[in-house]
Structure 1
Amino acid sequence: MEEIGFESKILHTPFEKKDAYNSLSMPVYYTAAYEFDTAEAMEEAFCGRTTDHAYSRITNPTVQYFEDRIQAITGALSVTAFNSGMAAISNMLMTIASSGCNIITSPHLFGNTYSMMKSTLGDFNVETRFCDLTNLKETENAIDENTCAIFLEVITNPQMEVADLKALASICHKKGIPLIADTTILPFHIFKAKDFGVDIEIVSSTKYISGGATSLGGLVLDYGTFDWNKSKKLSGMSKQYGNKTFTAKLRKEIHRNLGAYMTPQAAYMQTLGLETMEVRFNRQASTCLDLAERIKSLDGIERVNYTGLKDNPYYKLSTEQFGSKPGAMFTFDLTSRDACFSFMNKLKLIRRATNLFDNKTLAIHPASTIFGTFTEEQRKSMDISQKTIRLSVGLESAHDLYNDIKQALAR
């Protein structure tokens, strides 16, 4: 039989061990510890010489099965599941960064990611160099012998900026540093990170994967494509672990010590959500494009920002990298902050809430919420406008969503 496709791999990834009751769904192993037959078997497990589970802060059968499914559909060398997207980012950064190094990134980052890099890592003497990643010359010039990675969001939230990933990957690999990308805004069947030179992929599985905001989660995918002998921090380990060096550092030390592994209940819900992800996304993305095109002509809307629109400055590059439906989120600008608040207060169907890719459509004013604790100067440097509304499109009909937006704009 020929190799099965993406949809079938999600549904038919086998369990590591046969279930005692032949369950079609991986059971929830809500346990902290596991019994061993002998002291010798216990030693082997705790020292990592077998795949037996020892303690659920480190590995768990339900979480492992979720990781196995993600690995099967992405072709990643390894997948590690965490209890949030920010936990995935922080564990990744603690794996690659050390005092005295620097990370190249864009100022166009999600608020907590920006804060993590600017403030939290700064306290540990890790420098973050913010530059325009769409300017390849500026980006390359920012790299020096202490640079440990380039990090970016493939479509920035909420600025909707798109960088040339293959060009950035070329720069990274010429300079001997990994390219690390947060791809949360796009599901795996739309964007295959490895094909664009991404070495480490970060995903907030809270979004598309969870199946309608059922649970929190984050993923770190290591594609095994980077030569870690070129890393100042990890070169010593690379002699033993080769292309598995990043995974070894992450799994054997960082995630164990920080204690942010995904819970089995979240893994169970996200495994179920994964099964319907493609169907839900196709509906959401189609509605998103339709809605973005339709509201452009409404009075009171100054601009609609979605890279799937032909008049968007990133349309060509976005289409080349992500296809015709680049996610289920767009932003639009009204005339002022007051207009945004008035609009949101009049919404009847669309929910006023944070999060992305819930089954329900969600609206938020990023400047006063996600970036609300930033100074106005910081917001300007990050291109966060007081006039912007972010819309995460759910499973409602485009007609109903359009009518809600239209009535909320009415004076």
Structure 2
Amino acid sequence: MNSSRPLTALAITALLASVGRGSVQAQPTPAELPGKPAPEWDAIFAREKGWTGADGCYSVELGAGRTLWLYSDTWVGTVAEGKHAKGSRLVNNSIGLQPAGENGKPPKHDSLEFYWGKPGKDGKPRAWIEPDLPPTDPQAAGKNWYWLLDGCMVNSPGGEKKLLVFLMHMGRKKEGGDGVFNFRMLGGALAVISNPIDDPSQWKISQAANPHSRRSGTDDISWATALYLSGREGPGEPGTLYIYGIRDVKGLNKQVVLARAPAARADDFSTWRFFNGKGWSGKSSDAVKITDEAVNEHTVERVSFGGRNHLVLVESQPVFGRHVLVRTAAKPEGPWSGLKKVFLVRDLENGEHKRFTYAGKGHAHLSAPGELLISYVINSHNFWDMVGDASIYRPRFIRVPLGAVFD
């Protein structure tokens, strides 16, 4: 197996975890943290053939009870004796389709279907979606690819359903380089699926570059790291898609910024407006921080508790921390509460191989009443540790009582 691509993937996952700076509020001891493992959900993604692991793990309601899972770097192949077997490959992204079921309960193991790209001329599997756009950065060298960010099902202006999947456009820093950090964000993009009710193998997909995502070297912004679609019950204005982004200022401090657009026209980037602290501006450069201590992957979930609707932001602890964190707000722009620890990830020691956790995400529409289902991923700083232990680098789940989120 060619290790140059997987090593790059591992380095990127390390980057996603190694973000943010600051302190988390004083919290209970680990024994008192409210999150509890959900092994019945873990088991759904423990697979030995085909799709055998991935990170990312956003979930999107497709309607009629169906859920779309969005993954970034993905193992495709077989698992033998607990290891990724010879011939297994890492592709840059994949998706999963979960049928309708009862909220709070996982589907049957064999009911999930996974999709990635058809084999190339070399016979090897490929990503579900590959760029058909030129890199936004003309200095980009060599291969470029997509990671999947958040997605959302919306109505088009004519009333038809369409699926939006936002993308992070990635590439190498230097052609021919083999360093594990030989990568960079090139910009953002959007995939629009015009027939999302059909089988994913029949989807009609168009791509468009996101002009609001930018890389300057000192003030990079990636949009759609989380989405929130406001309905009649709020919070927020009905029919509005709130689009969260991450501003990566120089250093390790990452900030959350916010845009909004009419949901039916959110794929028209000219309709986006950016929160400037007082109102909504048509200039993306006016976007201001709504909170910090952020990471590149997070979700914003609407939950009902205490007779009111609230928003909950879910993320993994920055800078290789060991905790899953939440913060809350009454409105999409905040003010947001301080971060609260809800779970300690313990399975991070494996002899000489140091592991880390990242990719914390909430899945409110799959949660049991009074709870929030949350996923996270464990990975290793050593690529061959990941190859040799297929039990990591796949989604793991916890259940968090809402009473503990809002106490």
- Specify which structure has the higher proportion of helix: 1
**What TM-score do the two structures reach when normalised by structure 1?**
0.23
- Specify which structure has the higher proportion of strand: 2
The structure having more radius of gyration, on CA atoms, is 1
**What TM-score do the two structures reach when normalised by structure 2?**
0.23
